[in-house]
Amino acid sequence: RTSAEGTSKNLADIIVRRCRVYVQEHESLGSRDCEEIKNRFLNSVIGKDPCNITMNDYDFFMEAARQNISCNKFLFWSKTKEIAHFVSSVYMNINVINPSKCVMTLEDSLVGYMMDGLKWCSRVGMKEMDYSSCPGWNDCELNSVKSFWKRASLYFASIACGNVSVMLNGSISDPFSDSSLFANTESRKLNSKNIDEVNILLVDSPPDRNMCESSSIRELRSVLSGSNIRYKCTALKSTEVKQCISSAQSCNCF
């Protein structure tokens, strides 16, 4: 990944367009002013040092874009973006009058949906976004994009409720890595008052090794125990997950 890339082309239009599509497809959100949401987003960063954007800089935007999400649907993920998003888009409960998603990732919420895959930053003294270059993910801790996803993750974790799931990558040595947003932000914000149980879904562990017992996952278990949150850990194969959700009529694959 290069640090030379600047703000995504047509950022403002993309935000408004995605916002309108999302609002149209989710009646329960009520009416939202997508122009206002876009303006609040741009104002969070325009004219500011792209390496000194804090989570709080996005608070005014978050206030306009936040929503309620039904309990028991939250799906967190780390190093499993592709399969987690595949699951959230295909895994449906079609056994009722209106079909509904079995799980929701942050990117299935308005906040995450609008910004997924985009890049942005501005500079001190600039009156617009910087389309020529932006700091990379690891160039500075307080970069515009990382602080945004931290803020959004904080929001998503703090409203999570019921039985929630997290899809982790069992094929890497450190699925619960300190540098991931799930490890350093989301897992620590889960609130035992609202959460019944965390279902740790370990995808594609080596056949000869139960990654649920690995030191990395033991670390997650101790974070959850420390917050008085119950958990269970299930090892799954991605092929089986895909097969089950593709033919599922209700939410009973995991």
Binding to ligand ENP by residue 65, rule CB under 6 A?
no
Q: How far apart are CA 150 and CA 172, in angstroms?
A: 23
The three-class DSSP label of residue 195 is strand
Other Cβ atoms within 10 Å of 241 Cβ, number: 20
Single out the residue of 19, 53, 64, 106 in contact with ligand ENP (rule: CB under 6 A): 106
Which residue out of 121, 161, 233, 253 is catalytically annotated? 161
- Nearest CA-CA partner of 110 in 186, 7, 24: 24
Show the site string, 146-165: x = touches ligand ENP by CB under 6 A, - = not: ---x---x--x---------
CB nearer ligand ENP, residue 16 or residue 75: 75
138 lines the binding site for ligand ENP (CB under 6 A): yes
Closest contact distance (angstroms) between CB of 181 and ligand ENP is 3
Q: Dihedral of the CA atoms 67, 189, 55, 41 (nearest 10)?
A: -10
In whole angstroms, what is the distance from residue 82 CA to residue 59 CA?
A: 28
71 catalytic, yes or no? yes
Judge whether 253 counts as a catalytic residue: no
Closest CA to 111 of 60, 72, 165: 60
Residues at the interface with ligand ENP (CB under 6 A): 1, 76-79, 81, 105-106, 117, 136-138, 149, 153, 156, 180-182, 186
Catalytic positions: 71, 161
